[in-house]
Amino acid sequence: MSVQRTLVLCKPDAVQRGLVGRIISRFEEKGLKVVGMKMLSLDEELARRHYQEHVQKPFFPELVAFITSSPIVAMAIEGENAIEVVRGLMGVTDPQKAASGTIRGDFGLNLTKNLVHGSDCLSSAQHELLLFFSPEELHEYSLTLKAWM
Ligand code: IDP
Ligand code: MG
């Protein structure tokens, strides 16, 4: 088991619907550590770089329009096996198919407006964290309750 860092985005729908606090709580309650957090508005260039792997997909223009439509909240999340654990807490891509108890399963219905992004592997996590955070925006600290989790 290794300690990993991953990028989570609370997408524009999460901010507009006032769900950011509840989404962050899911990660905190699990025992994961927020090591960086900020609100920002994506411009088209950052949206394209972040979703580079989907450039050729038919849904790409809609995805870029959506993610740039309103501010997002970006978080760097750290913990044991954090990449997979975060994806598990989020649920599968389509909120209609995501299990109850997951963020997408509990709060969403729409495939584009699926509330959250989480990096899908170690190399994406490293790349995506660099897109959204400078080194001094990421914090090294210990959780005093760690021994109990
Ligand atoms: P992921 O967010 O679960 O990793 P990806 O396949 O990487 O899913 O897709 C990136 C984002 O693009 C999704 O979170 C969703 O917002 C959007 N998306 C994916 N597939 C579709 C689609 O078929 N139609 C519309 N939007 C989609
Ligand atoms: Mg993805």
Does residue 22 fall inside a structural domain? Answer: yes
Is 86 a domain residue? yes
Q: Is residue 63 part of a domain?
A: no
pLDDT of residue 50: 98
For 79-110, write each residue's pLDDT tens digit: 999 999 999 999 999 999 999 999 999 999 99
Backbone angles phi, psi at 134, to 5 degrees: -85, 160
Q: Are strands 116-118 and 33-40 parallel, antiparallel or unpaired?
A: unpaired
Judge whether 135 lies within some domain: no
- What pLDDT does 33 receive? 98
The reply to whether 19 falls in a domain is yes
Q: Is 9 in the pocket of ligand 1 (CB under 6 A)?
A: no
pTM: 0.97
Domains in the chain: how many in total? Answer: 1
Ligand 2 center to 117 CA (angstroms): 7
Mutate to test the pocket of ligand 1, among 11, 51, 59 (most ligand atoms within 8 A of CB): 59
For residue 83, what pLDDT is reported? Answer: 98
Q: Which range of residues forms the domain containing residue 30?
A: 3-41+72-130
- Confirm whether 113 is domain-assigned: yes
CATH of the domain at 84: 3.30.70.141
How much is the pLDDT for 149? 87
94 lines ligand 1 (CB under 6 A): no
Q: Does ligand 1 have an atom closer than 6 angstroms to the CB of 93? A: yes
Spacing of C-alpha 24 from chain mean position: 10
Span 13-56, pLDDT tens digits: 999 999 999 999 999 999 999 999 999 999 999 999 999 999 99
Q: Is the CB of 112 under 6 A from ligand 1?
A: yes
- Reported as a pLDDT band with limits 50, 70 and 90, residue 64 is very high
Catalytic residues: 117
pLDDT band at 1 (very low <50, low <70, confident <90, very high): confident
Residues with CB under 5 A from ligand 2 (ion): 120
The DSSP line for the chain is --EEEEEEEE-HHHHHTT-HHHHHHHHHHHT-EEEEEEEE---HHHHHHHTGGGTTSTTHHHHHHHHTSS-EEEEEEEEETHHHHHHHHH--SSTTTSPTTSHHHHH---SS--SEEE--SHHHHHHHHHHH--GGGS-----TTGGG-
Residue 58 in any domain: the answer is no
